[in-house]
Amino acid sequence: MRTPGRVAGAVALRVLTQLRRDRRTLVMLLALPCLLVVLLWWMFEDAPGSSFDRLGPGLLALFPFVVMFLVTSVTMLRERSSGTLERLLTLPAGRLDLILGYALAFGVVAAVQSTLAVAVSVGPLGLDVAGPVWLLVVVAVADAVLGTALGLFVSAFARTEFQAVQFLPAFVIPQILLCGLLLPREVLPSGLEEVSSVLPLSYATDAMQTLSRSTATGAVLADLAVVVGFGAACLALGAATLRRRTA
Amino acid sequence: MMNNTVEVRGLVVVRGRHRVLDGLDLDVAPGVTGLLGPSGCGKSTLLRSVVGVQRVAGGAVRVLGQDAGAAALRRRVGYVTQAASVYDDLTVAENLRFFARVLGVTRHDVERAVESVDLGEHRDQVVGRLSGGQRSRASLAVAMLGEPDLLVLDEPTVGLDPVLRRDLWAVFHRIADGGATVLVSSHVMDEAERCDRLLLMRDGAVLTDDTPDGVKRRTGAGDVETAFLRLVEDLA
Ligand SMILES: Nc1ncnc2c1ncn2[C@@H]1O[C@H](COP(=O)(O)OP(=O)(O)OP(=O)(O)O)[C@@H](O)[C@H]1O
Ligand SMILES: [Mg+2]
């Protein structure tokens, strides 16, 4: 009776159905990243140099990560408080299956979201990318899945909505500060540079910046592998911290 | 005798700094068993232990001959938590189809579950826009998927009007007539009359385990509420 992926597929389908019901959230998920890159482009329109080309790719890594982190945390918290998670844990559903179901659903959303944001950036806004555009999309989707994975993991430690929202400044903003977008990572004081090199967003940003500057894909794929590795580790930890029995 | 569906021996549960259950013993046989007691006495904690989601500090909980929460029980036990435990933003049918996929049961089971709680007319309505009673019935329908041998229902009738409560109890009895065990908690004492068997609970202990008539006879009370109060006074 146990078909692998049955539960993950069921969860993913369900989450996508819920999102489809919530039109406003869906529209915001898909439109906001596009509007934000437009805002960035506009900011630098009269500035000398090519700041948009420099910052744009990094932000394409950032938006899906942040948005998916938040959406996932809130979804998980709702699942806990409504009693549905407790019920699911009494059913023949593996904990990793449940977690993978969420990652799958949000991965699909992230793919659409990132494709749109990248299309707007390299199309009408004329973002200059040296590397292949499809790889830009792949990195953005990996970032989104990373955000989902991290959100799933830390949501295990949130008891209330307030705590869940506070995890954004706790787990995400330090990564944004140190990822190399504000200041190249090489010029960070020693200590902080080491910290930044164990944070996944640094690798995502590196990948995006390399893509924008060079046509060589080797370094990008290496960074991408690190991001995917972090994501997989967070999903595994998320499944491990999802306890069937709670106090 | 081994025809008890649930056997609890010396169950100890600590929640926070509070010893909620302290060496509780209990048997539940097929039929409709009511678990009654005042708010905070530990009903939800006990039911959570039976379905295997409560961390326990000691004792044994056996369900259908296995340890509570065993993987093999996950198809055989249906559970409705005290919160409605359905997705408010999905329709009745979508909720059922989701849980049916998780359980690996067919669409036919979904239809049967919808019919048995009489929600056919509302099957395509979003659960968040149903009335309280319809929502409880949607949640109950989910628990009935796959025809479990044990149904554990935590206050499924709270806040419902008398007519709906009567209808729901009729559903419980219909399920039990099929040979299943239904364990229902409530703190409304008049629901006690509708049970085949009564477990009266107070402060984490089972005061009495009897039929409704037996309880009344033993205490000389005219109704279960008075009987419960007499039992409490006897202890004091
Ligand atoms: N998550 C928790 N953490 C710590 N203590 C808890 C928790 N949940 C319940 N308790 C405590 O455990 C005791 C029993 O709670 P329980 O929910 O089992 O009662 P109940 O009989 O179901 O009450 P009600 O009829 O109001 O639902 C209460 O004293 C409560 O304060
Ligand atoms: Mg309760």
Q: Is the pLDDT higher at A242 or at A17?
A: A17
* Cβ neighbours of residue A1 closer than 8 Å, sequence gap 6 or more: A92, B75, B104
| Among B81, B84, B102, beta carbon nearest to A93 | B102
Would the pLDDT of B12 be above 70?
A: yes
The answer to whether the CB of B208 is under 6 A from ligand 1 is no
Q: Binning pLDDT at 50, 70 and 90, where does residue B50 land?
A: very high
B142: CA distance to ligand 1 center in Å? 24
Q: Is the CB of B44 under 6 A from ligand 1?
A: yes
DSSP A194-221: HHHTTSHHHHHHHHHHHHHH-S--HHHH
Q: Measuring CA to CA, which residue among B134, B222, B158, B147 is closest to residue B180?
A: B147
Q: Scanning the structure block, which residue is given the tokens 């307030």?
A: A162
User: Chain B contact for A159, CB < 8 A?
Assistant: no
- Nearest CA distance, A84 vs chain B (angstrom): 4
CA angle A212, A217, A218 (to 5 degrees): 135
Q: Measured in whole angstroms, how far is the alpha carbon of residue A29 from the centre of its chain?
A: 12
Looking at residue B187, its pLDDT comes to 82
Give ipTM to 2 decimals: 0.90
- CA A233 from chain centre, in angstroms, equals 14
Instruction: In whole angstroms, give the CA distance from residue B141 to residue B119.
Output: 9
pLDDT value at residue B1: 44
Strand order of the β-sheet with B31-36 is B77-80, B150-154, B181-186, B31-36, B197-202, B205-210
Instruction: Give the tens place of pLDDT for each residue, B84-96.
Output: 899 999 999 999 9
User: Looking at residue A201, what is its pLDDT?
Assistant: 94
Q: Which of B77, B85, B89 sits opposite A18 (nearest CB)?
A: B89
pLDDT of residue B23: 93
Q: Report the number of secondary-structure helices (H) and strands (E) in chain B.
A: 7, 10
> Shortest Cα distance from A140 to chain B (angstroms)?
29
Q: Nearest chain A Cα to B86, which residue?
A: A84
Single pTM value for the model: 0.90
**Cα nearest neighbour of B126 on chain A:** A21
Cα A97 from Cα A131, distance rounded (Å): 35
For chain B, the farthest-separated pair of C-alpha atoms sits apart, in whole angstroms, at 54
Which residues, other chains included, contact A74 with Cβ-Cβ below 8 Å and sequence gap of 6+? A161, A164
Cβ atoms of residues B212 and B192 within 8 Å: yes
Q: Is residue A37 within 8 Å of residue A118, measured between CB atoms?
A: no
Residues 6+ apart with CB under 8 A from A43: none
Alpha carbon separation from B206 to A214, B11, B109 (Å, rounded): 73, 11, 36
Q: Which residue has the higher pLDDT, B228 or B90?
A: B90
- Per-residue pLDDT reduced to its tens digit, A182-202: 889 999 999 999 999 999 999
The region of weakest confidence among A5-14, A67-76, B21-30, B101-110 is A67-76
pLDDT at position B173 is 94
Mean pLDDT across A228-237: 94
Q: Which H/E stretch holds residue B153? A: strand B150-154
Per CB-CB distance under 8 Å, the chain A contacts of B86 are: 82, 84
- pLDDT of B2 over the 60 cut: no
Mean pLDDT (whole number) for B78-104: 95
* SS3 of residue B130 by DSSP: coil
According to the model, what pLDDT value does residue A2 have? Answer: 55
